[in-house]
Structure 1
Amino acid sequence: MSDGSYRRPRALSPLREHLRDTFWFAPTLALVLVCVLWWAADSLDALILDSLQEAGRYDDVHYLTGIAEDAKTIVTTISAAMMTFIGVVFSISLVAVQMAAGNFSPRVVRIFIRSRISKLTFSVFLATFLLSLLVLTAYDSESDPALVKSVPLVQSALTLLMVALSLLLFIAYVTQTLQLMKVGPVVERVTKESLHVLAKMPVQAAEGEPLAAEVARVNHQGRSGTLRDVHVARLVRIARRRGVVLRLIPRIGDFVVPGMPVIAVHGEPGHVPVRWALRSTVSVGVERTFHQDLGFGLRQLSDIALRALSPAVNDPTTAVQCLDRIVLFLAMVSNRPLGAVHHRDSKGVVRLVQDVPEWGDLVDLGFTEIRGCAVVSPQVSRRMVAGIDDLLRFVPAERREPLERHRALLVQAVERTVPEAAERAFALEPDRQGIG
């Protein structure tokens, strides 16, 4: 099989994804960069001042000193105001996260953590505050133009530019935060990330290639937790050097404990890679991530729908919106071979086999729990019937069984729960809007 459409994973992709799931990295990097920027601006100010003093242009020095003194008042005000702005941003973030966790699902909180606008806004605010403090230390109280050692004119202008950028980012941040407090943008973001994971997976042949005999297994060591991802590029490189094929035993998203086998080695007994090198490629964390987890998006959509259908919330329209995206995701994978992903080296040789959910697993994940609650809401049952019927129109014949099973179970549940024949017929009539 040709895998020319498969984009090989970049070496730092797991690290990049892990840093995106943190909130400390971007502000810390911004503080370091603003220190470098301030040093460059301070050097430029010193160069301008030295040039004027060497040329004897003391009137120009006096003029620039007056401008800098006027700017000092503004910089001082900025320094005091930025902490207030930072507190406002932090408060808005906490309220938005709390509302999202309560209204949608605790697992969507990661959307706010990974938000580029949130990180950029918080980082620029902190950087502006630090820059204003650094600029204030550069002011010189000397009044004699020939003895002035520092005129932070460039630094003051840079601070004003940072303030302007902060205001623009604050507008963008509030706009995005308000959007993410609505269910539509949240489920759309989850769907896009799910489809992004699918797009990164290599296209596989319909039938898996046979593997050589298993010669060794590598057990997990360290803390227990959820298998977040593996370093695919490193595993492929190790397997190519040793002339073996590696197989990931648990699925991404499985909970692993110390001593559990995580990697199997297939090939010659004398070519087994060093075990610690293989263990270092496995990343275990507290919760699942989108990086390589094909089913995590369906898990989140199902959770949001279930919370919406709970008696405390009773919001079937939200469940219908989730079903829209579940049907979309299943439609995207309906004709795609599933079950095992084969990662190849530069010569096209399979070096890593990774187990992924089968078609039936994804259908069960998307429909099972929602179906159990759909019997009390005709809006949801009608949308589910329409979604299943749409999928049945174009899925391959060998993939119809899980869909037909869920449709039959939904019909049985409604017939068993709803006593009136007219109500049952209404609840089982396909409608892509639920109750359009």
Structure 2
Amino acid sequence: MSDRGYRRPRALSPLREHLRDTFWFAPTVGLLCSFALWWGVAALDAEIVTHLKDEQAYEEIGDLIRFADDARTIVTTVSSAMMTFIGVVFSISLVAVQMASGQLTPRVVRIFVRSRISKLTLTVFLATFAFSLLVLTSYESESDPRRVTSVPLLQSMLTLAMVGLSLLLFIAYVSSTLRLMQVGPVVDRITHESLRVVGRMPGGVREELSLGAETARIGYSGRAGVLREVNVARLVRVARRQEVVLRLIPRIGDFVVPGTPVLAVHGGALSQRMPRYTISVGVERTPQQDLAFGLRQLSDIALRALSPAVNDPTTAVQCLDRIVQLLTAMVHLPLGAVQHRDGAGAVRLVQDGPEWTELVDLAFEEIRWCATRSPQVSRRMLAGMDDVVALAPEDRKGALVRHRELLVKAVERTVPDVIAREFALFPDRQGIR
């Protein structure tokens, strides 16, 4: 139970996550880079003309002027059309996001916001627009090769290259957006993020540890929000310097308000002020350290699909496929309180986490209430539970068996016909083949 190498604390981690959840940072950096790029390329164009003048190559300067005049039409067209193109593309994208959030769950909007291809596309589009406007200012009315000071040769060529890149990114962006409007890629993205969290969980066997008497508590002093991330390495170092053991009171995903006790101190004294950059609090849960958030999202999508207004049991089955995948990945994982140790092997931080029974309840409890109306879903749930039971150790089979029995009883109460009931209670990994 270590903090996995005791990495240097990521002091900017909350800022990094905040920037990834916003859409303004990358385009702003792109605009600044486009200005810097234009300034550098304009200087190179001026150097080229100066060099040709020194060589008295006025015929070559005239050729450059004619090429720049031909490219000027294209640059003008690009500058006038790019902003309209941006507006149309992202208006359609907002409609796509709204449709996806309405059909699946509002929590999938975060996938669109954090999409790298979306941010890269908007950044390149805006950079191309700004760069083309700056290039237009570099054109001179003078046509005499002896009097011209600069010819935007490289600027024009770079503008054309950026237009080509914009078109390629537009194709990639449309393809990515269409994929994220489908259920399969969305639940696959959620599962992939959750499996990364599972892979970062420390292994070994959870040991019973006597922390001793609690000597102090440290309250939260920031703005209210959801506990999203904990800097384990920094907390371990703080506890080692003070020779104490810290216990994180809320779990990842809990909502905390100012004054809420966050850290309990055992075995010594510690300043009542929260160490800087140790926890990250935001407006919603994130999958960075939240082991249960993926199950929460998949359960929400399945519940919406099973609602009478949507009535899409196939989507619920797709979610159950991924729920079974996550439970299978967690079935042998040590759960509950995690003990983080310092370099000498002493426990310095205890962090509470979800138990196996809680994860199984989150995965099946709410879906089970709606599964009785759809034999496809009840059959898939039974098959999924049987698959996980076959892999689970003895001490973890009970929670799965309990949910299986409750599902069978619920279907028996809801479906009076014997033949229909037998059909609904037959395990099938595809629901209904």
The TM-score by the shorter chain falls in which range? over 0.9
CA contact (8 A) 1:9 1:232 kept: no
Structure 1 position 306, deviation (Å): 0.3
Is 1:140 the counterpart of 2:140? The answer is: yes
TM alignment of 1:397-436, pairs within 5 A: 397-436=394-433
TM alignment of 1:32-431, pairs within 5 A: 32-269=32-269, 272-273=270-271, 275-278=273-276, 280-431=277-428
Distance 1:274 1:258, change over 3 A: closer
Paired with 1:407 and 1:8, the residues of 2 have a C-alpha distance of 43
Structure 1 position 371, deviation (Å): 0.3
Structure 1 position 18, deviation (Å): 2.7
Structure 1 position 144, deviation (Å): 2.4
Paired with 1:14 and 1:208, the residues of 2 have a C-alpha distance of 32
Paired with 2:87 and 2:117, the residues of 1 have a C-alpha distance of 16
Structure 1 position 143, deviation (Å): 2.1
Unaligned runs of 5+ in 1: none
Paired with 2:6 and 2:258, the residues of 1 have a C-alpha distance of 33
Letter in 2 for 1:262: V
Paired with 1:409 and 1:9, the residues of 2 have a C-alpha distance of 48
Distance 1:65 1:179, change over 3 A: same
Structure 1 position 175, deviation (Å): 0.6
SS state at 1:148 partner:
coil
CA contact (8 A) 1:6 1:203 kept: no
CA contact (8 A) 2:219 2:272 kept: no
Paired with 1:76 and 1:25, the residues of 2 have a C-alpha distance of 27
Paired with 1:245 and 1:46, the residues of 2 have a C-alpha distance of 65
CA contact (8 A) 1:204 1:342 kept: no
Which stretch shifts more, 344-353 or 302-311? 344-353
SS state at 1:277 partner:
coil
Letter in 2 for 1:355: D
CA contact (8 A) 2:305 2:312 kept: yes
Identity percentage of aligned residues: 66
With normalisation by structure 1, the TM-score equals: 0.94
Structure 1 position 4, deviation (Å): 9.4
Post-superposition Cα deviations, 1:150-206, rounded to whole Å, max 9, x if no partner, equal 211111111111111100000001011111111111111111111111112222423
Q: How many residues align?
A: 432
CA contact (8 A) 2:336 2:354 kept: yes
Letter in 2 for 1:360: T
Structure 1 position 274, deviation (Å): 5.9
Post-superposition Cα deviations, 1:90-144, rounded to whole Å, max 9, x if no partner, equal 1122011101111000011111011111111111101111111111111122222
CA contact (8 A) 2:21 2:114 kept: yes
Which stretch shifts more, 244-253 or 152-161? 244-253
Which stretch shifts more, 365-374 or 47-56? 47-56
Letter in 2 for 1:384: M
Paired with 2:73 and 2:135, the residues of 1 have a C-alpha distance of 12
Paired with 1:227 and 1:9, the residues of 2 have a C-alpha distance of 21
Distance 1:406 1:305, change over 3 A: same
SS state at 1:247 partner:
strand
Letter in 2 for 1:181: M
CA contact (8 A) 1:343 1:353 kept: yes
Letter in 2 for 1:243: E
Paired with 1:53 and 1:273, the residues of 2 have a C-alpha distance of 71
Structure 1 position 209, deviation (Å): 3.7
Paired with 1:325 and 1:432, the residues of 2 have a C-alpha distance of 12
CA contact (8 A) 2:378 2:424 kept: yes
Post-superposition Cα deviations, 1:226-280, rounded to whole Å, max 9, x if no partner, equal 11222333323322332333221111111111111011222322xx1461425x4
SS state at 1:292 partner:
coil
Structure 1 position 10, deviation (Å): 5.9
SS state at 1:284 partner:
strand
Paired with 1:95 and 1:419, the residues of 2 have a C-alpha distance of 44
CA RMSD in angstroms comes to: 1.8
Structure 1 position 402, deviation (Å): 0.7
Paired with 2:348 and 2:69, the residues of 1 have a C-alpha distance of 66
SS state at 1:217 partner:
strand
Letter in 2 for 1:401: G
CA contact (8 A) 1:6 1:200 kept: no
Paired with 2:304 and 2:273, the residues of 1 have a C-alpha distance of 43
Distance 1:353 1:38, change over 3 A: farther
Letter in 2 for 1:108: V
Distance 1:360 1:35, change over 3 A: same
Structure 1 position 67, deviation (Å): 1.1
Distance 1:206 1:66, change over 3 A: same
CA contact (8 A) 1:239 1:273 kept: no
SS state at 2:328 partner:
helix
Letter in 2 for 1:312: A
CA contact (8 A) 2:336 2:355 kept: yes
Paired with 1:370 and 1:43, the residues of 2 have a C-alpha distance of 64
CA contact (8 A) 1:204 1:338 kept: no
Distance 1:5 1:265, change over 3 A: closer
Distance 1:150 1:350, change over 3 A: farther
